[in-house]
């Protein structure tokens, strides 16, 4: 996921004015990153199942890690990697 965000940030920095203004359209070419959300959802479900079976520590850990992975998919982390001084 970090690699995809780095690619998006590099492409944004290489873009010029009009392309930067409409970068949401360019960002759609990286739509495959949303397929990683399925793995996060599956991990969340498995963490909840583990928690309900009495494995609180493992279930909590798995659920937290899965939620962080889901946040990385849906938040635009690449905006933190862009140099804003230009």
pLDDT band of residue 28 (cuts 50, 70, 90) is confident
pLDDT cut 90: percent of the chain above it? 2
First to last CA, the chain: 26
As a whole number, mean pLDDT of residues 44-54 equals: 89
Interval 55-70: pLDDT, tens? 889 888 888 888 888 8
Residue 58 pLDDT: 87
| Cα 83 from chain centre | 20
Q: Is it the case that residue 21 has pLDDT exceeding 60?
A: yes
As a whole number, mean pLDDT of residues 47-54 equals: 89
Using alpha carbons, list the distances in angstroms from residue 86 to 12, 22, 39. 12, 17, 37
Q: Is it the case that residue 86 has pLDDT exceeding 60?
A: no
């Amino acid at each position: 996921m970090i690699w995809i965000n780095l690619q998006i940030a590099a492409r944004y920095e290489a873009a010029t004015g009009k392309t930067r203004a409409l970068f949401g359209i360019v960002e759609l070419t990286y739509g495959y990153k949303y397929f990683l959300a399925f793995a996060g959802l599956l991990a969340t479900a498995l963490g909840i199942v583990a928690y309900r079976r009495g494995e609180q520590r493992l279930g909590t850990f798995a659920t937290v890690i899965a939620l962080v992975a889901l946040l990385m998919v849906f938040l635009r982390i690449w905006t933190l990697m862009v140099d804003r001084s230009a």
